[in-house]
């Protein structure tokens, strides 16, 4: 178990380093050199300033040395400096990360819980109107663009009914503390989290349903029936547990991408997370920031893949840890 984790972490570090190197060359593929980009961002373009920049960031060094410095910087979580925001990139990302983790974590939990629930119900009542209703609803949420759902949700719940705030992380200027602060953030969280959650919920519901119907045909379900177990117990203990294996795989793949993938939703709801930071960086051609976000998101994906592997191994005894 321990050696397995160590092995996976070692592999993840290798992949991450490869990504960092790719990152390094990406920044050098931009027209001109990074100094020109930075000078442009800083609004000054004379040769002296450029030379200063090149010296400051080691750009006058040979390429291998630059690569070494870049990798060294990243390993000490120095992701560079954002001239637009006049702040280190790592500080910017760290500021935004909690909001994104809160949003995607909530959305992920909602989608997984309700997706599995509705999928299990659809499978249990396969062929009835309940199954049809769930399947059709899942298809609609799956097919509708996220930003459109987001806009409609704002229109309905914020503008028309005035139940929920339409944007932001908390009420600006209210300065709530304690429980009031928690409730305020929760109210702001509902719309964006549900919007993302609905899409993924649809995927999990469809996956769970299909997987359960498949497992229900397997021999050991007949064994369970031959024991005299009730249908409810069979569905829960024998069918659902086995059917969740592919759902775990899918959820693990999506969890990692969710962190960087909530760009549209965060933008529509003005949620101060990584996604919106990336969107802003993109509009402002803030290369260092953009690439910093890229590195952090990659690390997240790798981390979630590792977690998925561990979860998968704990639910499926057939995959054994090397002893």
Which of 233, 215, 211 minimizes the C-alpha distance to 116? 211
Please identify, using beta-carbon distances, which residue of 160 and 232 lies nearer to other proteins. Answer: 232
Count CA atoms within 13 Å of residue 204 on its CB side.
Answer: 30
CA distances from 38 to 46, 92, 259 (A): 12, 18, 27
Q: Which stretch binds other proteins (CB under 8 A): 206-214, 236-244, 270-278, 295-303?
A: 236-244
Query: Phi/psi at 164 (nearest 5 deg)?
Result: -130, 150
For other proteins, which stretch binds (CB under 8 A), given 3-11, 114-122, 152-160, 194-202? 3-11
Task: Please say which residue, 291 or 302, places its beta carbon nearer to other proteins.
Answer: 302
Applying CB under 8 A, the span of 153-161, 164-172, 217-225, 266-274 interacting with other proteins comes to 217-225
Give the separation between CA 228 and CA 286, rounded to whole angstroms.
65
Q: Does 227 bind other proteins (CB under 8 A)?
A: yes
Q: Which stretch binds other proteins (CB under 8 A): 51-59, 115-123, 179-187, 216-224?
A: 216-224
For residue 30, the 8-state DSSP code is: S
Number of residues that bind other proteins (CB under 8 A): 28
7 binds other proteins, rule: CB under 8 A: yes
Going by C-alpha positions, the residue among 67, 90, 87 that lies closest to residue 78 is 90
224 binds other proteins (CB under 8 A): yes
- For 259-280, give the DSSP string: HHH-HHHHHHTT--SHHHHHHH
241 makes contact with other proteins (CB under 8 A) = yes
Residue 16 or 150 having the CB closest to other proteins: 16
Under rule CB under 8 A, residue 228 binds other proteins: yes
Find the binder of other proteins among 143, 178, 219, 232 (CB under 8 A): 219
Q: Which tokens is 61 given?
A: 């060094």
Which residues lie across from 87 on neighbouring strands? 82
Considering the rule CB under 8 A, would residue 1 count as an interface residue with other proteins? no
Binding status of residue 3 toward other proteins by CB under 8 A: yes
229 touches other proteins by CB under 8 A: yes
* Secondary structure element (H or E) that encloses residue 110, with its range: helix 89-124
Which residue do the tokens 């499926």 mark?
316
Among 56, 72, 225, 236, binds other proteins (CB under 8 A): 225
Stretch that binds other proteins, among 6-14, 74-82, 266-274, 278-286 (CB under 8 A): 6-14
Q: How far apart are the first and last CA of the chain?
A: 7
Q: Is 128 in the site for other proteins (CB under 8 A)?
A: no
Residue 218 binds other proteins, judged by CB under 8 A: yes
Q: Which H helix or E strand runs over 109?
A: helix 89-124
Nearest to 258 by CA among 154, 116, 111: 111
Q: Which residues bind other proteins (CB under 8 A)?
A: 3-4, 6-7, 10, 218-220, 222-230, 233, 237-238, 241-242, 315-318, 322-323
């Amino acid at each position: 178990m321990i050696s397995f984790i160590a092995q996976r972490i070692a592999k993840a570090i290798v992949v991450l380093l490869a990504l960092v190197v790719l990152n390094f060359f990406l920044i050098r593929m931009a027209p001109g050199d990074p100094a020109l980009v930075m000078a442009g961002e800083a609004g000054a373009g004379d040769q002296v300033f450029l030379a200063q920049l090149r010296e400051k960031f080691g750009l006058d060094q040979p390429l291998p040395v630059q690569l070494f410095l870049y990798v060294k910087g990243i390993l000490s979580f120095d992701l560079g400096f954002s001239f637009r925001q006049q702040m280190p990139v790592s500080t910017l990302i760290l500021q935004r990360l909690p909001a994104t983790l809160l949003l995607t974590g909530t959305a992920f939990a909602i989608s997984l819980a309700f997706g599995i629930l509705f999928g299990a119900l659809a499978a249990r009542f396969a062929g009835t109107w309940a199954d049809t209703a769930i399947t059709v609803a899942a298809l609609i949420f799956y097919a509708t663009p996220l930003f459109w759902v987001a806009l409609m949700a704002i229109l309905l719940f914020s503008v028309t009914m005035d139940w929920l705030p339409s944007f932001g992380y908390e009420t600006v200027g209210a300065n709530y503390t304690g429980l009031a602060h928690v409730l305020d953030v929760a109210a702001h969280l509902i719309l964006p989290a549900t919007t993302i959650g609905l899409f993924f919920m649809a995927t999990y519901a469809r996956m769970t349903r299909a997987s359960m119907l498949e497992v229900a045909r397997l021999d050991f379900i007949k064994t369970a029936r031959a024991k005299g177990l009730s249908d409810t117990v069979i569905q829960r203990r024998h069918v659902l547990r086995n059917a969740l294996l592919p759902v775990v795989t899918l959820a693990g793949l999506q969890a990692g991408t969710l962190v960087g993938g909530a760009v549209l939703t965060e933008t529509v709801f003005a949620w101060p997370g990584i996604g919106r930071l990336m969107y802003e960086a993109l509009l402002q051609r803030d290369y260092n920031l953009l690439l910093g976000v890229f590195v952090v998101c990659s690390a997240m994906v790798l981390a979630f893949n590792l977690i998925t592997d561990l979860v998968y191994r704990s639910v499926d005894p057939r995959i054994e840890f090397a002893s």
